[in-house]
Amino acid sequence: MPETDDTATQTKKGAATPPPSQTQTPPPVRAAVPPSYVWGKEPYPPEKGVPDLAETAAKHITDWVTGNGLSGTDVRVAKKKQDVFAFDIPITLQLTPTIIESRTAGQDKTGTFCNSKLEMQEKIAALKTQNLSNPKTVILAGEYLKKAPLLGWGSQQKFALKELNADYTCHEKCPKCKGKKQDKCGYCHGKGQTPCIECKGFGKTDCLRCLGLGELPGAGGTKIKCPECFGKKDAICRECRGLKYIQCPKCRGTKYVGCTECNKTGYVSLHNSVAFEAFTNMSISTANMPAEIRDLLEATGGETKLATEQHAAISMVMPDPESLDALTAAAAAAATPATTSPQTAGQPATQAAAHTPPQAELHYHVEIPYGTAEFSIGGKRYDAQLAGYQSCILHIDDFLDPQVKSGIAALQKIVKGPMATEALMKTAMKLRLVKDVFSHTGSMTKKKMLQHVKTLYPRGLSDKYARACVVFADQAIKSLTDKPRKVGAAVGTTIAAALAGAWFFAGLRGMALTPETPANEQMIYDFTLAGGLAVMAYFTVRFFGAGALKKVMSFQSADAGKQALPPGGMSGMLAAIMTLVIFFALALLMPERPAWL
């Protein structure tokens, strides 16, 4: 049975006493991000119990060491101690009104009616103050936040409070007609008449009988004077009778028309629509926090992942409904509206604003378990710091390094020489870490492979050993497949050269293309074939390497997993380049050169 510290789990508010990690020498610190255990976008439900951090962390360690020289029975919890750190985080609430002004004709009484524009402005100003200090507004904002978890958690966020929106209306005399209900006619500019359309204001038009010629055809081809205009070519305008002006068709000569601004009512309605947006803000103070909680915050990058990755139990604390009347009366009696005061972590919410009148407050109640543990891994003791409901291991020595050292050393020996290759491969492939890296080498770059390893083993494996495993696995594969890849380069280049010769000299190109084919189309055909032959030669090298690697690893079972194609290396590049050189050399030597040459 493991030796276990039976210290009871405690709840600390404000960290009145030093946490257990501060009373003993902490283990060596390694800067690394705790493993991500995302279960969704919801914070950890408070109704769930506090897990046993040490036992949960032991399961994580078991997953990492299994297949890497140890098994689950080699991991035990020797000692453990944990507490729960609880603290309140106030939510700062700010309301920002947006006022939209509009104007309509007539005496509309939509919304709250005001006797004057000044009264309307005073009511809007009072509304801003009342809403900011009204406890019911705080309750309303809290209900919004409860419906959308994490809406108010983290940096400043905003949402609309439509229940606070208001409309105000007042009436004033029409600024255009000054309340007279009518205005000067805009068509005649208040004159009552306009220039005649027919004569353009000249009072005369061309004679309609002689069409402005002054003469008419007479007998025998002679010309006679027009009897209508007597040879003057024009006549009095029949529309205005020579007066040059006619009655305005819009106002009918009255000089006034009904005012379109007020719709002939003499008044306009001014509307002010007020819409409120709520801005929430909160921040976690690290003062008085245990070291484990501070490290958890730093490693996760802030309070957002603290919630989304469910490292903390978070609940919103709403004001007591029974005290709303007293709070409302106190807020109304205050000379100035109260604002939320800063509050340090662990400080009770009721003491944060002692210098202000009592008011409704919103705050988050957060609980984060933390503690220390001593694990026995493969017979050796390792101290660890733990925190969060996911039992994140914040600090622990590299317990995997001694276990994987033999496998990495075997890879290094394979790189140095071909002696006892199969025995060394068997030694290396006993480790799950080496097997995983070896099987993926060739399918991703060394940088991505290193990131993959650190994702699989976020704790226990040092950067030095992870990098050595990736580098030596890559070099071992290249060493084991060196000669087969050279053979593959020769075979691939030969096959590509034969196909290129058949294309140019066996009539295949003449069957696909004619001398009349445009040069750019010929280039597309030839260059596509050249690229395809180069790729074929390159992958021939990789396939030859894969065949040699399969023989070396024949000791593995059929369900060992798929091995990625080994990289082509320099042999693959030379095969592709030689294929292109041979292809274009043959293009120059053919009897009828391609049109693009």
Positive or negative, the CA dihedral 265, 266, 268, 269 is negative
Where is pLDDT greater, at 269 or 304? 269
pLDDT score for 83: 93
Query: Do 580 and 508 lie in a common domain?
Result: yes
Q: Nearest 10 degrees: CA dihedral of 514, 515, 516, 517?
A: 60
pLDDT score for 145: 79
Asked which of 333, 365, 396 is the last residue of a domain, the reply is: 396
List of residues 6+ apart from 410 with CB closer than 8 A: 424, 425, 427, 428
The burial of 322, by beta-carbon neighbours within 10 Å (0-12 exposed, 13-18 middle, 19 or more buried), is given as exposed
Task: Choose the weakest-confidence range: 233-237, 472-476, 520-524.
Answer: 233-237
Q: Residues 119-150: pLDDT tens digits?
A: 998 888 888 776 766 777 888 888 887 777 66
Helix (H, G, I), strand (E, B) or coil at 233: coil
Q: What is the 3-state secondary structure (H, E, C) of 190-211?
A: CCCEEECCCCCCCCEEECCCCC
Query: Do 370 and 455 lie in a common domain?
Result: no
pLDDT score for 6: 41
Helix (H, G, I), strand (E, B) or coil at 479: helix
pLDDT score for 238: 79
List of residues 6+ apart from 523 with CB closer than 8 A: 594, 596
**Could you give the CA distance from residue 497 to residue 495 in angstroms, rounded to a whole number?**
5
Q: Domain for residue 372, yes or no?
A: yes
Q: Domain for residue 270, yes or no?
A: no
Where is pLDDT greater, at 353 or 236? 236
Q: What are phi and psi of 557, to 5 degrees?
A: -75, 165
The burial of 58, by beta-carbon neighbours within 10 Å (0-12 exposed, 13-18 middle, 19 or more buried), is given as buried
Q: What is the mean pLDDT of residues 412-433?
A: 85
Q: Domain for residue 109, yes or no?
A: no
Q: Domain for residue 215, yes or no?
A: no
List of residues 6+ apart from 2 with CB closer than 8 A: 76, 77, 78, 79, 376
Q: Looking up tokens 């060493």, which residue turns up?
A: 479
pLDDT score for 150: 66
Q: Decide if pLDDT at 16 tops 50.
A: no
- β-pairing, 234-236 vs 11-13, is unpaired
Residues composing the chain: 597
**Could you give the CA distance from residue 487 to residue 467 in angstroms, rounded to a whole number?**
31
Where is pLDDT greater, at 432 or 41? 432
Q: Domain for residue 289, yes or no?
A: yes
Q: Look at residues 566, 579, 477 and name the one whose alpha carbon lies nearest to residue 530.
A: 579
pLDDT score for 33: 41
- The secondary structure of residue 323, as a DSSP letter, is G
pLDDT score for 35: 40
pLDDT score for 421: 81
Query: Do 350 and 433 lie in a common domain?
Result: no
Q: What is the mean pLDDT of residues 142-161?
A: 74
Q: Decide if pLDDT at 20 tops 80.
A: no
Q: Decide if pLDDT at 219 tops 70.
A: yes
Q: Which of 200-209, 377-386, 517-526, 550-559 has the highest mean pLDDT?
A: 377-386
What pTM was estimated for this model as a whole? 0.62
- For residue 292, the number of C-alpha atoms closer than 13 Å in the C-beta half-sphere is 35
Q: What is the mean pLDDT of residues 501-522?
A: 86
**Could you give the CA distance from residue 396 to residue 369 in angstroms, rounded to a whole number?**
18
Q: Look at residues 54, 134, 38 and name the one whose alpha carbon lies nearest to residue 330.
A: 134
Asked which of 367, 396, 425 is the last residue of a domain, the reply is: 396
Query: Do 512 and 549 lie in a common domain?
Result: yes
pLDDT score for 1: 36
Q: Decide if pLDDT at 402 tops 80.
A: yes
Q: What is the mean pLDDT of residues 383-395?
A: 92
- Characterise 204 by phi-psi region: left (phi > 0), alpha (psi -120 to 50), beta (else): beta
Query: Do 288 and 370 lie in a common domain?
Result: yes
Query: Do 463 and 493 lie in a common domain?
Result: no
pLDDT score for 487: 92
The confidence band for 556, taking pLDDT boundaries of 50, 70 and 90, is low
Task: Choose the weakest-confidence range: 51-60, 302-311, 343-352, 390-399.
Answer: 343-352
pLDDT score for 349: 36
Task: Choose the weakest-confidence range: 163-177, 312-326, 342-356, 570-584.
Answer: 342-356
Looking only at Cα atoms, what is the longest distance across the chain?
A: 146
Where is pLDDT greater, at 504 or 356? 504
Positive or negative, the CA dihedral 193, 196, 200, 204 is negative
Q: What is the mean pLDDT of residues 400-429?
A: 87
pLDDT score for 361: 73
Q: Residues 56-98: pLDDT tens digits?
A: 999 999 999 999 989 889 999 999 999 999 988 888 888 888 8
Q: Decide if pLDDT at 557 tops 60.
A: no
Q: Which two structure tokens, joined as six digits, stand for 115?
A: 């006797």
Among the residues of 134-205, which ranges form H helices? 135-147
pLDDT score for 43: 67
Q: Decide if pLDDT at 275 tops 80.
A: yes
The confidence band for 382, taking pLDDT boundaries of 50, 70 and 90, is very high
Helix (H, G, I), strand (E, B) or coil at 320: coil
Contact 182, 257 (CB under 8 A): yes
Q: What is the mean pLDDT of residues 274-301?
A: 85
Q: Which two structure tokens, joined as six digits, stand for 354?
A: 């002692």
Query: Do 540 and 461 lie in a common domain?
Result: no
Where is pLDDT greater, at 43 or 522? 522
Q: What is the mean pLDDT of residues 184-202?
A: 84
pLDDT score for 156: 62
Q: What is the mean pLDDT of residues 153-180?
A: 84
Q: How many domains does the chain have?
A: 3
pLDDT score for 301: 78
Asked which of 447, 480, 513 is the last residue of a domain, the reply is: 480
Query: Do 549 and 577 lie in a common domain?
Result: yes
Query: Do 303 and 385 lie in a common domain?
Result: yes
The burial of 59, by beta-carbon neighbours within 10 Å (0-12 exposed, 13-18 middle, 19 or more buried), is given as exposed
pLDDT score for 49: 79
**Could you give the CA distance from residue 18 to residue 582 in angstroms, rounded to a whole number?**
77
Query: Do 486 and 596 lie in a common domain?
Result: yes
Q: Residues 472-491: pLDDT tens digits?
A: 988 888 888 888 889 999 99
List of residues 6+ apart from 359 with CB closer than 8 A: 133, 135, 138, 327, 330, 331, 338, 353
Q: What is the CA radius of gyration of the chain?
A: 45
Q: Which two structure tokens, joined as six digits, stand for 500?
A: 């290129």
Structural domain of residue 576, as residue ranges?
482-597
Among the residues of 134-268, which ranges form H helices? 135-147
Q: Residues 313-370: pLDDT tens digits?
A: 888 777 766 666 665 566 555 544 433 333 333 343 333 333 344 455 788 888 899 9
Q: Looking up tokens 């510290």, which residue turns up?
A: 5
**Average pLDDT in the chain:** 80
Query: Do 433 and 524 lie in a common domain?
Result: no
Q: Decide if pLDDT at 29 tops 80.
A: no
Query: Do 454 and 564 lie in a common domain?
Result: no
The confidence band for 399, taking pLDDT boundaries of 50, 70 and 90, is very high
Q: What percent of the chain has pLDDT over 90?
A: 25
